[in-house]
Amino acid sequence: MSGTTIKSVTAHQVYTNRGKPGVEAIVTTENGAVGRAMCTSGESVGTHEIEFQFDGGEKFRGKGVMRAVNNVKEVIAPVIVGMDAAAQQEVDAAILGIMPNAKEVIGGNATAATSAAVLKAGAAALGIPLYRHIGGANAMYLPVPGIAMTSGSGRYGGGITTPGGKPTMSAMCFGFKTFSEASYACWEIHTRWAEKMKKLFGGAPNIRDFIVIPEGIYKNDWEIWEEMCDTIREAGYEGKVGFQMDVATDTYHNKEDDLYYGLFDNTKKTKDQLMDIYKRLVKDYNFVIFEDPFNEDDYDTTAIATKELGVQIVGDDLFTTNPKRVAYGISKGAANTVLLKVNQVGTISEALEMIQYAYKFGYAVMPSDSRGEGEAIADYAVGINAGSIRESGIGARGNRFLEIEEELGSRAHFIGARGLKGELNQRRADELGQ
């Protein structure tokens, strides 16, 4: 193992595209290979996620991560230097075995960043792509990608606002023969959408970003959904593109009366009223994926939605990439897909364990890079043969997918609508001949 032996481990506090600091870990092997990985906290954070270490105080509004950085350098590094970077499970076991409740004490952001850096260093030291290091010869499927459309709340007045910029809505491009064709559709749809929004209210952000629509432009989200459907039709992709929504309902849920305040308009809603809205979105607006359609502990209603809606139901805050929560959800029939945030659970090995468990019981896994994975999320997706991925149709992540598609050549397979869970989505795949 001489070349793949871990020679050094260090870390830095870095700025991230999430607007808050993150932990970047750097692992170097004896043969000079380097693995760098970053972990940051997201906008919508489930209460069941692992604990991150933050510095507190006034600097960075309490979200500095120098304590976690120092834990990488002073606590984790002495334990794993000299170990084999290609032996991921052994390294992760050593990290978790440093002390009882290691993730809570050291910080999940410290353990996750280090674990992911080890994974990358191992691949680099072996001289193989990251997706091949993860999935071996079986890594060959490229997932259905999406493109960001709109996000945000509080645009209807009435004084109702929520944190986290939810819900977000994306266009999922499934009805294509190759990833590159789906990627082009993502680009064209978002370009048209951004042009519409610029004409409507005078501004739109970078092409990769969700567009936040200011108050007063639309009366409610129904008008936005109509506009999104028009955009797909105008681009000539009707029947080949559907919509995904990260509802993130916990940002709207009131635990005292079990009602949802300000979601889709400025009224409060029961879970039954939400269910009726979702049914109409599937029927009339071609929604193919809902993420966290009910609050993070409402497995029963999520199970009903999974059965009645017939589309892909994704658990993020519901599962938090946690094997125990996934197991409980499976026992209840809640959701049919686990959102994978590699940095959400603490180590790569635990994430891979969860993935295999989900696959064993017929659940899909949908990767997301919102915890700092960056373009490496493309390698994770191909490595585990994921059927779909959050956004990633263009930009740095899209570029990496296109590169992988080219590297795989004739072995590359675009999974298309068959990669989406749910009875109605499988009918779409049949109609498209996928």
Report percent pLDDT > 90 for the chain.
78
pLDDT, greater one: 43 or 12 = 12
Element (H, E) at 38: strand 34-39
pLDDT band for position 45 (50/70/90)?
low
Res. 294 pLDDT band, cuts 50 70 90: very high
Number of CB atoms found within 10 A of residue 406's CB? 10
CATH of domain 135-432: 3.20.20.120
pLDDT digits (tens, 9 = 90+) for 186-208: 999 999 999 999 898 886 655 45
> Sorting pLDDT into bands at 50, 70 and 90, what band is 161?
low
309, pLDDT greater than 60: yes
Portions of the chain given CATH number 3.20.20.120: 135-432
Q: How far apart are CA 314 and CA 421, in angstroms?
A: 9
DSSP 8-state code for residue 260: E
Token pair for 91: 């390294």
Neighbour count for residue 166 (Cβ, 10 Å): 23
* CA-only gyration radius of the chain, Å: 21
Q: Is the peptide bond before 167 cis (omega within 30 degrees of 0)?
A: yes
Q: Residue 221's pLDDT is what?
A: 87
Predicted pLDDT at 156: 53
pLDDT above 70 for 163: no
Per-residue b or e along 221-245, where b marks 16 or more CB atoms closer than 10 Å to that residue's CB: bbebbebbbebbeebebeebbbbbb
Task: Extract the tokens encoding 84.
Answer: 């084999």
162 has pLDDT over 70? no
The pair phi, psi for residue 215, each rounded to 5°, is -60, 140
> Which residues touch 218 (CB under 8 Å, ≥6 apart)?
155, 224, 227
Mean pLDDT (the chain) is 92
Measured from the Cβ of residue 161, the count of other Cβ atoms closer than 10 Å reads 13
Section 243-269 average pLDDT: 90
Query: By mean pLDDT, which of 5-19, 201-215, 295-309 is the weakest?
Result: 201-215
Calculate what percentage of the chain has a pLDDT beyond 70: 93
Closest by Cα among 9, 38, 5 to 26? 9
d(CA 261, CA 242): 26
Instruction: State the pTM of this model.
Output: 0.94
The predicted pLDDT at position 155 comes to 57
Instruction: Kindly report, residue by residue over 103-141, the tens digit of the pLDDT.
Output: 999 999 999 999 999 999 999 999 999 999 999 999 999
Instruction: Report the alpha-carbon distance of residue 348 to residue 365 in Å, rounded.
Output: 15
Residue 118, pLDDT score: 98
Cα 111 from chain centroid?
Answer: 19
pLDDT band at 153; cut points 50, 70, 90: low
Q: Which residues are catalytic?
A: 215, 341
Look at residue 154 in the predicted model and tell me its pLDDT: 46
278 Cα distance to chain centroid: 21
Among the residue ranges 143-147, 155-159, 251-255, the one predicted with the least confidence is 155-159
166 half-sphere exposure, CB direction, 13 A CA radius: 24
Q: Residues 52-75: pLDDT tens digits? A: 889 999 999 999 999 999 999 999
> Can you list the pairs that 86-94 forms with residues at least 24 positions away whose Cβ atoms lie under 8 Å?
86/1, 86/4, 86/122, 86/125, 86/126, 87/1, 87/122, 88/115, 88/118, 88/119, 88/122, 88/348, 88/349, 89/349, 91/6, 91/115, 91/118, 92/118, 92/347, 92/348, 92/349, 92/350, 93/349
DSSP 3-state of 350: helix
Return d(Cα 345, Cα 241) in angstroms, integer: 31
**Tell me, what's the pLDDT at 354?**
93
- Sequential DSSP letters for 196-249: HHHHHHS----TTSPEEPPTTS-SSHHHHHHHHHHHHHHHT-TTTEEEEEE--G
Render pLDDT for 323-361 as a digit per residue (tens, 0 to 9): 899 999 999 999 999 999 877 788 999 999 999 999 999
**CA–CA distance, 118 with 86 (Å, rounded to integer):** 8
- Residue span(s) of the chain under CATH 3.30.390.10 come to 2-127
Q: What is the CATH number of domain 2-127?
A: 3.30.390.10
Q: Which DSSP category does 27 fall into? A: E
Residue 35, strand partner residues: 27
Enclosing H/E stretch for 22: strand 22-29
Angle in degrees, 0-180, between the axes of helices 179-201 and 395-408, rounded to the nearest 10: 160
Mean pLDDT of 400-425: 97
